[in-house]
Structure formats: C-alpha cells, structure tokens
Amino acid sequence: MSSSQTSPLQHHELLRISAIYRVAIALVLLGVFFSDIGGGSLGEHLPSLFIYTTATYALLNVSWLLFLRQKAYQTSTDQVGIVLGCDILVFLLLIEASGGLNSGLGYLLLISCSIGAILLDRRLSAFFAAIASLGVIGLQLYHLLAKQGSSQEIVSAGGLGLLLFITVSAIQYLSERIRKANIRADQQSRQAAHLQRLAQQIIERMSTGVLVIGPSYKPELINHAAKRLLGDQLDSEHNHHTRLRKEVREWRNHGANSNILIPAKNGDELHASFSELRHDSGNSTLVFVENNRKLAEAAQKLKLASLGQLTASIAHEIRNPLGAINHAAQLLSESPQIPEEERQLTEIICRQSQRINQIIENVMQLSRRRASSAVKYDLRSWLKQFLVDFNTGKADSLVDINLPEQTLPVQFDPAQLAQVVTNLTDNALQHSELATGTSHAIISAYYNTKRGCTVLDVKDLGTGVPKEIMDQVFEPFFTTGKNGSGLGLYIARELCEANKLSLYHCQSEDQKSCFRIEFVHSPSVT
C-alpha cells in the first residue's frame, strides 16, 4: 500500500489480524443473537435485518480473508477503504436493527476506525471517522424525529463521534512516531550493513593477514592475505596442534608472548601478534599476520632512505673524476714509451673504473627511479615479445620459455618488469655457465591455484643459493661474483614491490634453482 503508515511486515501482519478479526466478530454476533446471551438486546428491533446483515457480513469477511491469503496479504488503499466503508455501513445497520447505541455495537465502529487509522493515511482515516460519526448521529436524529428515541441518545451519539476522532487522532500520532522510528532504524540498519561491507572489503584487501580464532580454536574470520601467508597452517579444521593454534592457546591460558614468529611454507618467517576480543559467547583472539621479511625490509628501507639522497649526490660527483681517471689510463696505455708490465696496470685501471662506473649507474638509477605505471597485460604475450627483444644480439645464450594454454591476466609496469626479468635472466645465464659451461635459462609462467595468483619463474642450471647466504642475496652491494655490483637483485626486488609483486628465491618443482615472481593481486584464471 503506497500510503501505508507502517513497514511492509507490520502492514501484512495487521491485514491478516484484521481480516481474521472481521470473520470472528461476524460469527460472534450471529452466535450471541441465536443463543440469546446478550439478553435479546442484539437485533431486538429488526431481527431480520440483523440476521441478513450479519450473515452477509460474515460471507464477505470470509471472502476477504481468502483473497488476502491468495495475494500474500498485499492489497491497495482503495480496497482497504472499501472494506472499511462496508464495516461502517454494516455496524450502522446492526445498531439500527438493535434499537440504537444502548446495544453497545457502537464501540465496534471504534475498532474499525482505529484499524483504518493505521492502514490509511491521515486524510482518509479522518474521513471514515467523520462518516461513522455522522452516521451514528444521523441514526439518533432519525429516531428522535420519528419519536423513537430521546435527546439523551443524541448526546451519546455525539460522545461516540468525539471518541472516534480522539482515538483516530491518537493512533495516527502514534503510528507516525512508529513510522519515523522504523525509518530511522531502517536507515541505521542499512548504514550499519554498508559499514560492515566496507569493513569486510577493506580487511579483504589488506596486505596484512587478519584472522579471528574463536573460543574453540577454529577460525571465525580470515582474509585473503592471511590465507596466502599461513597456507597449510589452517588446512585442517580439527588439527589443534599447528604452531599458530598452539601459540594462541599458550597466550590465552598462560599469558605468553603476544608477538611470535612462525615459519611460512615458502621458507620465510611470519610475525603474528594477538589481541583479545570479548563477547558473550566466549572470548575470541584477533591475530595479525605479517611477513617478517617484509617488515625487516621496511626497516632497512628506512635506514637506506636517509642515505639515499647523499649517496646519489656523492655518486654524481664521483663520475667526473672517475671519467678523467679512465680517460687518462686509456691515453697512457696508448703511449709507445711505457713497458708491457705498466700497460697491464693501465688495463686494470680501466676495468676497475668501468666497474665503479657501473655501480654509480645503478645507484643513480635507484635515485632517479620513477613511480610505477601499472597496465593490464596477458603475461604470455608479454613474455613472447620480451624473449624476442632479449635474444637480440645474444646468439651464445639459450633461453627456454614454458607457457600455459590459458591467458594469464596480470597488471604491472612493462618497462620495470622488463628490467626485473632481464636482471634475473642474466643472473640465471651467468650461474648456469659457471655450473655447466653453457648459458642456459628457463622462464616459466603459470597460475598457482593453491596460492591464488599468477607466477613467473626464472630458473638456472646452477647449484642454487647456499642456505647460509639465503637472507643476504637481496641486500644492496652483496655479491658472490668478482665483477658484480651487488645491486641487480636488490633493484629487482625494489621494482617488484613498487608494482605490488613478490620476488623471492626457492627450489622449483623440477628441483632447479629459481627466482620466483608472484603477481599477488592478479585475477583468477578461468
């Protein structure tokens, strides 16, 4: 009903109750009339009119109840108005058949008008109250003119009419207050639901893992980052002996350390912190999980940031005298007057000057690095074009590429990813040549369903990274080669993090040394 004063649920329920009430009151009136419980006051003036009116009213009310049930208690304002008008007409006829207001039937008008005040708008409900009042007063005036009543009955009719208006006005006021309260509650409910959805989306997209462990040590909430970081820590719903659950139990029971380190599946360490959530059904534990390696890297970035600008300035100033030294050594080596032993020394000066210049170029590249501009690509197509560009001028190198049949949609900065993959491929070629004498690298791309992301592997034929230096390979200026600058892998990881990618070293499924790039926020492959 478009002009309803109540919410849909209350409206439907009230329609059902009022329809049942109408059937019941018609049957009660018939029962009282035939059983003579009311002492013969009902229908004593015009029994036939009373019987036919009440019987017709009962049939109409039964039909109205069946109609509402068929329509799932959905109706229109016009239909409710017609039913209310029929109520007023029927009760006026019954009052007439019973000899006037002394029968007590006038109060049935009060109930019907009260129902109308809830179901109809202010004007319509006041209109029907006026009709009922005028009808009652009109009947008493007719009796008075026909010398069948007294002036006292006119006063009673006026009092009933006044009571009708007072009751309808009071119910309208209360209905309006209830309607406004329902609207406010509905708005607050929608706002709360919106905030809840917003909070869920924020938690789901957080890079920090968020996990809520209930009183029974089962996860009540876990976001995507926590699933990615914890992996098989929560695979079994009934395994209460995993490291995380054991630490949570210790913390709850004995007040143990609320900050712990637990091993991750890829070899990293995870930092977990606990906080208590109190509620009536039992206390839960809120767990924040972060990659400890990334936290350490963030701390290292803070230390390096203070030196970054100074280092870039120093590197810039070194280039000019370094260029002069290199140029002087080249001129000296071209002189016919110096012996061969000294000429070898000039070659050493030139080589080392070029090495220092390469380090300076890398440092300057870090200081001038632009912000990433991510673009959506199919990683397969991009890798095919990358391989064509990489192999240009490198006839002595062999780079194999393994790609799946399905597309691999990812998002990254193509120029920065090209620099990362170039560094990793050159590194793989170098280590393969040291181990086997052949420059050979393998690039593989696929979608890891367990991790929920696209993966790019750059593998070599070398012996892999020794465990004792595993934590150092991505540190700046760390190198195991004689001619390396120690900045290649550091720059590669920096560029990956700028593109929201994850780069780490691991052992591939075919037991090859592998540097793996995970496109953490890549969409799922269908």
Neighbouring CB atoms inside 10 A of 134's CB total: 14
Q: Are residues 435 and 472 in the same domain?
A: yes
- CATH assignment at residue 270: 3.30.450.20
- CATH assignment at residue 299: 1.10.287
Q: Are residues 35 and 99 in the same domain?
A: yes
Q: Are residues 81 and 146 in the same domain?
A: yes
Asked if residue 194 is part of any domain, the answer here is no
pTM score, two decimals?
A: 0.41
Give me the number of domains the chain comprises. 4
DSSP assignment, residue 7? -
pLDDT at res. 444:
92
Write the pLDDT tens digit of every residue in 344-373.
778 888 877 776 776 676 666 656 555 667
Asked if residue 58 is part of any domain, the answer here is yes
Asked if residue 524 is part of any domain, the answer here is no
Write the pLDDT tens digit of every residue in 128-178.
888 888 888 887 787 777 766 666 777 777 888 888 888 888 888 888 888
Q: Are residues 387 and 456 in the same domain?
A: yes
Average pLDDT over residues 413-424: 85
Average pLDDT over residues 52-60: 89
Q: Are residues 485 and 414 in the same domain?
A: yes
Asked if residue 1 is part of any domain, the answer here is no
Asked if residue 241 is part of any domain, the answer here is yes
Asked if residue 196 is part of any domain, the answer here is no
Residue 127 confidence class, pLDDT cut points 50, 70, 90: confident
C-beta of residue 505 within 8 angstroms of C-beta of residue 517: no
Average pLDDT over residues 315-322: 75
C-beta of residue 100 within 8 angstroms of C-beta of residue 46: no
Write the pLDDT tens digit of every residue in 24-44.
988 888 888 888 665 567 777
Q: Are residues 249 and 346 in the same domain?
A: no
pLDDT at res. 5:
44
Q: Are residues 380 and 499 in the same domain?
A: yes
Q: Are residues 170 and 218 in the same domain?
A: no
Asked if residue 359 is part of any domain, the answer here is yes
Look-up of token digits 């030196």: 307
Q: Are residues 303 and 289 in the same domain?
A: no
Q: Are residues 480 and 389 in the same domain?
A: yes
Range of the domain at 275: 205-294
Average pLDDT over residues 441-460: 89
Residue 235 has pLDDT above 70, yes or no: no
CA 446 to chain centre: 28
**351, 367, 383 - which closes a domain:** 367
pLDDT at res. 445:
92
Q: Are residues 148 and 215 in the same domain?
A: no
Write the pLDDT tens digit of every residue in 269-311.
777 888 888 777 777 888 888 877 776 666 666 665 665 666 6
Asked if residue 275 is part of any domain, the answer here is yes
CA distance 422 to 365: 15
CA distance 145 to 162: 22
pLDDT at res. 168:
85
Average pLDDT over residues 47-60: 88
Q: Are residues 400 and 433 in the same domain?
A: yes
CA distance 57 to 311: 98
Average pLDDT over residues 19-27: 88
